[in-house]
Amino acid sequence: MINTEDQEQLFRLIAEYLERDLVCVAIGGTAMMFMGYKNATKDIDLVFDSKQERDVFIRAIKELGYADKALSGIYDAKRTAHPGKPLMFTRGEERFDLFVHDIFGYMLSTKDAFTERRDYLGKSEFIVHLPTKEDLILLKAITRREKDHEDIAAIIKADTSIDWSALVEKAAMQAAHNEWFLIDLEATLQDLKKMAFIPNKHFRRIYEAQERLHGGSSGKN
């Protein structure tokens, strides 16, 4: 586990080891810590725009003692076979999950519109953008690792202003890259109905998007 203070210190240290300036997007528990939804995480999830940029980051963390780790045991077989899977690196109990633009088919770029960022100055500058809370929930529904559902529950308990319409629209737009999005999102929202009011119109929107993908009936009413 790594807490908020240690994460800040680690990112400042990484900036000292980077061979050039880098920009990335934090997702998962890392973003939750920045946004105040939790104070510790098991993994640090970052998204880069290119493999070259990710490689720059990897060279820096390898100098700090991080080593490659297999994805098995963390992600299921469907995700470990997906081209949008991350590279994983560990040191002790800390773990980096490093994606390039594609998180199991969900496309995310540093050029997207973000409202928050963190800057770390060392030998180089390391800039970390933060996603919207809707992106954060959607990505948690997609990665489906241990504790992801618990994290989603923590977000909606802490923040009652979730824009469910925007969340479902993003999933529908991204579903062309991976139809899991709609399946996983529908299952996640069904579970979340136990703790949050989610109008049925959002489920209908998911079923309509599924129907368009398959060119026929989704079998839902």
Give tens-digit pLDDT for 190-208.
Answer: 888 888 888 899 999 999 8
Instruction: Give first-to-last CA distance, the chain, whole Å.
Output: 43
**Do strands 2-3 and 94-100 pair parallel, antiparallel, or not at all (unpaired)?**
unpaired
> Average pLDDT for residues 135-146, to the nearest whole number?
83
Question: What percentage of the chain has pLDDT greater than the value 90?
Answer: 49
Task: Say what the pLDDT of residue 16 is.
Answer: 98
- For the chain, give the mean pLDDT: 89
Q: Which range among 16-20, 153-157, 177-181 has the greatest average pLDDT? A: 16-20
Give tens-digit pLDDT for 67-105.
Answer: 999 998 888 888 899 999 999 999 998 999 999 999 988
Domain 2-131 has CATH 3.30.460: yes
Burial (CB count <10 Å: 0-12, 13-18, 19+), residue 219: exposed
Question: What percentage of the chain has pLDDT greater than the value 70?
Answer: 97
C-alpha–C-alpha distance, residues 83 and 86, integer Å: 9
> Average pLDDT for residues 22-33, to the nearest whole number?
94
pLDDT band of residue 221 (cuts 50, 70, 90) is very low
Task: Say what the pLDDT of residue 32 is.
Answer: 93
- How many Cβ atoms sit within 10 Å of the Cβ of residue 59? 12
pLDDT of 179 higher than 80 = no
C-alpha–C-alpha distance, residues 49 and 108, integer Å: 8
Worst-scoring range by mean pLDDT, 19-28, 45-54, 148-157?
Answer: 148-157
**How is the chain split into domains, by residue range?**
2-131, 134-214
Q: Would you state the structure tokens that stand for residue 163, as one six-digit string?
A: 């824009």
Asked if residue 138 lies in contact with residue 31, where contact means CB atoms within 8 angstroms, the answer is: no
> What predicted TM-score, i.e. pTM, was given to this entire model?
0.88
Element (H, E) at 118: strand 116-121
Which CA distances in Å does 199 have to 142, 192, 195, 204, 220?
21, 11, 13, 9, 15
Tell me which amino acid residue 213 is: L
Task: Say what the pLDDT of residue 192 is.
Answer: 84
pLDDT band of residue 220 (cuts 50, 70, 90) is low
Task: Say what the pLDDT of residue 214 is.
Answer: 75
DSSP assignment of 13-58, as one string? Answer: HHHHH-SS-EEEEEEHHHHHHHTTS-SEES-EEEEESSHHHHHHHH
pLDDT band of residue 216 (cuts 50, 70, 90) is low
Give tens-digit pLDDT for 98-133.
Answer: 999 999 888 999 988 787 999 999 999 999 999 999
Q: Would you state the structure tokens that stand for residue 220, as one six-digit string?
A: 């839902």
